[in-house]
Chain A
Amino acid sequence: SAVISQKPSRDICQRGTSLTIQCQVDSQVTMMFWYRQQPGQSLTLIATANQGSEATYESGFVIDKFPISRPNLTFSTLTVSNMSPEDSSIYLCSVVSGYTFGSGTRLTVV
């Protein structure tokens, strides 16, 4: 199974600012997935990131708000843009290889 390093583990941000979350995988993977887990809720898929192509966003999520980069087969970033308190959540990346998750980023927007 792939091992994923995710950072930052947590952050407190001012509204209106942006935060970029990074995920590094220890092996090459074609797809990486970004999820959001709001307090007390289950996981909701934000987008699927393929290397060399635009990310595919789920209903309710848009590229301007959650831009994603996938520069190679082991790395991806998710940016949460123009943040509001409603963006306070845990953000997780995942890969199909082993169906494993990164350790998560706990974001609090104040």
Chain B
Amino acid sequence: QKEVEQNSGPLSVPEGAIASLNCTYSDRGSQSFFWYRQYSGKSPELIMFIYSNGDKEDGRFTAQLNKASQYVSLLIRDSQPSDSATYLCAVFLFGNEKLTFGTGTRLTIIP
């Protein structure tokens, strides 16, 4: 079982709709969870991170964490064509001090 799993996509969403990206992780000791956006040919850019159960909102982005289900998601409201990118989920263990990445989900926003 992979440590961090994401649906590779591609995920196609109409412009203006909500895009929902999902991630599961295997290590129950995982403590912080990160979402990165990566445009083709560019390095990953941090969108947001979450470490408490529940929702965390930042502009059009909402991260949701359910530690009991070992599940973290990213919602993008009012999707724009500029949101078309690969979204990477990563988990962090204190003490380990490193991020473990999922394989990423390729998102395409259709105008």
A residues with a Cβ closer than 8 A to B are 1, 31, 33, 41-45, 48, 90, 92, 94, 96, 98-104, 106
Contacts and interface: CB of A to CB of B under 8 A. Distances in A.
Contacts of A41: 103
B25 interface: no
Contacts of B100: 45
B50 interface: no
A104 B42 contact: yes
Interface string B4-44: 00000000000000000000000000000010000001111
Q: What is the size category of the interface that chain B forms with chain A?
A: 10 to 19
Contacts, number: 39
B60 interface: no
B55 to A, nearest CB: 20
Contacts of A45: 98-100
Q: Which of A1, A94, A99, A104 has the most CB of B within 10 A?
A: A99
A41 B8 CA distance: 10
Contacts of A101: 43-45
Given A1-B46, A42-B88, A101-B44, 19 more contacts: A33-B98, A33-B99, A42-B101, A42-B102, A42-B103, A43-B44, A44-B101, A45-B99, A45-B100, A48-B98, A92-B43, A94-B99, A99-B49, A99-B99, A100-B46, A101-B43, A101-B45, A104-B42, A104-B43
Which of A31, A44, A101, A102 has the most chain B CB atoms inside 10 A of its CB? A101
Interface string B92-110: 0000011111111000000
